[in-house]
Amino acid sequence: MESSKNKSKLWGGRFEGQTSTLVEEFTQSLDYDSLLYAQDIAGSRAHARMLAMQGVLGSDEAMKIIAGLDQIQEEIESGNFLWNQELEDVHMNIEKRLTELIGPLGQKLHTGRSRNDQVALDFRLFTTSALTLWQEELLSLIRTFTDQARKNVDVILPGYTHLQPAQPVSLAQHLLAYVQMFKRDFERVGDALKRTKVSPLGAAALAGTTYPLDPQQVSHEVGFKDVFSNSMDAVSDRDFVLEGLFSGSVIMTHLSRFCEEIIIWSNPGFGFILLPDAYSTGSSIMPQKKNPDVAELIRGKTGSVYGRLVSLLTTMKALPLAYNRDMQEDKGPFMEAHKTVLSSLKIMTGMVSALKFDSLAMEKALKSGFLNATEMADYLTSKGMPFRQAHHVTGKLVSFAEKKGAGLEDIDLADMKKFSDLFEEDIFRVLDYKEAVNRRNTPGGTGPESIAVQIRDIGEWVDIQVKSGKCGDSLG
């Protein structure tokens, strides 16, 4: 087996034997952590500056180190940086290059620091950027759903339970239900962000350090507020990644639920929506087909995000304190999940804004599903009939109408009276679907007044998020 000299490795001092190429390939983490170069350099700049402020480095030394780091960032971004797998990870690749550029001074950067607290900081910075991007996309999605709701307050469709037609609702009410889910997602991500933006730098390998470091200064400089409280926890905590993956999983759950509705509604049996061409595909053999592939793929990719959450939960389970190399397996799952969550959110926003609703098909479905049966039962109850009996009488009328292939509203008053003499001419107004919706103005109900309140509240909430800039501090 090929091997390389451990002399070249930054940790090679005590090693005499050699690392095999296979082991090198197996242990390296560059595939994912080279994507952390900007965060790694930002953390190192902050560390160098803090070391100078604390008198551990001369200020001219810190300046030279920072200039070297700037040059490395430029080399990486212009594609002129030579990544070396033998050096294992992003941290050692950058440090080695720094030493090439500025000489032995480069070796001073790691004073009072370990890769254990370094990688934790890098990944906290990366996760912060990712979660902030999710929040921005969630706000766009909330706006898009709310715009569609505003345009469709007067469109009535069957609301379902058990996917069986239940009661008429406004299309706006249906769409605004998703707005509430995405609002909770935004808040959940914001909550995870609070615990992500905590700097672990200064924990060193696991026990803290003898150098007079100022962790608060580093935290402040990288855009965080808080610092770790316990060095062993700081280097072994990956809760922030797990919380990110969990929040992402719930986002995908919500997206996939709406995807399922798009898939069902676009089925000609429902015909409630016309799939936008840009978000559907045809079949290579069946010319009539228009398939909801994009919705199916978001639904399908949800599984991979869940998988990544379970993967990291399983990696972390039963790890003894403090840092363990197992934890290197945190980056792939989160980075892959991040790509999926971010692109799914973007695509959903585009797809929802392009959706066209067929209100006539929705109206037809209302009629054939007897969605005003509850209204009839409530009518009889309001005239003094006990509800159980009213339920029974209405059931008989549904069966009567079904045999005639008609809706409840099509039955003559004389026929209705055969089932109960409580029926009067005013029943027809009660059976009107629109009226049924309009009557439900209790807070959060589907009536137009309740919907207006919901739309106003969500608009105000979005404005507050945008103004407070809570989601606008992406770290690049």
User: Mind telling me the catalytic residues?
Assistant: 162, 283
How many angstroms separate the CA atoms of 309 and 318, rounded?
A: 16
All residues at 6 or more sequence positions from 63 whose CB lies less than 8 Å from its CB, including other chains:
none
- Do the beta carbons of residue 268 and residue 226 sit within 8 Å? no
**Shortest distance, CB of residue 317 to ligand ARG, whole angstroms?**
17
Q: How far is the CB of 323 from ligand ARG (least distance, A)?
A: 6
Q: How far is the CB of 2 from ligand ARG (least distance, A)?
A: 22
162 binds ligand ARG (CB under 6 A): no
Establish if 36 lies at the interface with ligand ARG (CB under 6 A).
no
For every residue of 33-101, DSSP letters joined together read HGGGHHHHHHHHHHHHHHHHHTTSS-HHHHHHHHHHHHHHHHHHHTT-----GGG-SHHHHHHHHHHHH
Point out which span in 221-229, 321-329, 345-353, 385-393 binds ligand ARG (CB under 6 A): 321-329
Nearer to ligand ARG, 90 or 138 (CB): 90
Counting residues that bind ligand ARG (by CB under 6 A) gives 10
Q: Which is nearer to ligand ARG, 24 or 33 (CB)?
A: 33
Region near ligand ARG per CB under 6 A, out of 214-222, 319-327, 384-392, 460-468: 319-327
In the set 110, 115, 197, 367, which binds ligand ARG (CB under 6 A)? 115
Contact 163, 188 (CB under 8 A): no
Q: How far is the CB of 41 from ligand ARG (least distance, A)?
A: 16
Which C-beta is closer to ligand ARG: that of 67 or that of 207?
A: 207
- Give CA–CA dist 171/3, Å, rounded: 66
Rule CB under 6 A: say whether 327 interacts with ligand ARG.
yes
Binding segment for ligand ARG (CB under 6 A), chosen from 57-65, 111-119, 169-177, 220-228, is: 111-119
238 binds ligand ARG (CB under 6 A): no
Least distance (Å) from ligand ARG to the CB of residue 119? 4
Q: How far is the CB of 33 from ligand ARG (least distance, A)?
A: 6
List, as own/partner pairs, every contact residues 445-450 make where C-beta atoms lie below 8 angstroms and the sequence separation is at least 24, other chains included. Answer: 445/173, 446/159, 446/168, 446/169, 446/170, 446/173, 447/170, 448/153, 448/154, 448/170
Contact window for ligand ARG (CB under 6 A) among 125-133, 222-230, 323-331, 338-346: 323-331
Binding residue (CB under 6 A) for ligand ARG from 89, 137, 243, 378: 89
Residue number with CB closer to ligand ARG (29 or 372): 29
In angstroms, the CA 361 to CA 466 distance is 38
Helix (H/G/I), strand (E/B), else coil: 449: helix
33 binding ligand ARG? (CB under 6 A): yes
CA–CA dist 41, 73 (Å, integer) = 7
Nearer to ligand ARG, 15 or 387 (CB): 15
Q: Is 29 in the site for ligand ARG (CB under 6 A)?
A: yes
Among 39, 144, 328, 450, binds ligand ARG (CB under 6 A): 328
Expressed in percent and rounded to 5, the helix, strand and coil fractions of the chain are: 65, 5, 25
Compute the least distance from the CB of residue 29 to ligand ARG, in Å. 4
Nearest partner of 199 among 221, 174, 232, judged by Cα:
221
Read off φ and ψ for residue 157, nearest 5 degrees. -140, 165
Judged by CB under 6 A, the residue of 116, 128, 236, 450 near ligand ARG is: 116
CA distance 389 to 380: 9
Cα–Cα distance for residue pair 436/284, rounded to 1 Å? 45
User: Does the footprint of ligand ARG cover residue 315 (CB under 6 A)?
Assistant: no
The residue within the footprint of ligand ARG, chosen from 14, 162, 317, 325 (CB under 6 A), is 325
Using the 8-state DSSP alphabet, how is residue 198 labeled? E
Token representation of residue 471: 């989601």
Neighbour count for residue 180 (Cβ, 10 Å): 15
- From the list 284, 113, 132, the residue with the least C-alpha distance to 204 is 113
CB atoms under 10 Å from CB of 54, counted, come to 14
Nearer to ligand ARG, 238 or 440 (CB): 238
Of the pair 233, 435, the CB lying nearest ligand ARG is at: 233
* Minimum distance, C-beta of residue 95 to ligand ARG, in the bound complex (Å): 12
Q: Which stretch binds ligand ARG (CB under 6 A): 115-123, 240-248, 366-374, 430-438?
A: 115-123
Interaction site with ligand ARG (CB under 6 A): 29, 33, 89, 115-116, 119, 323, 325, 327-328
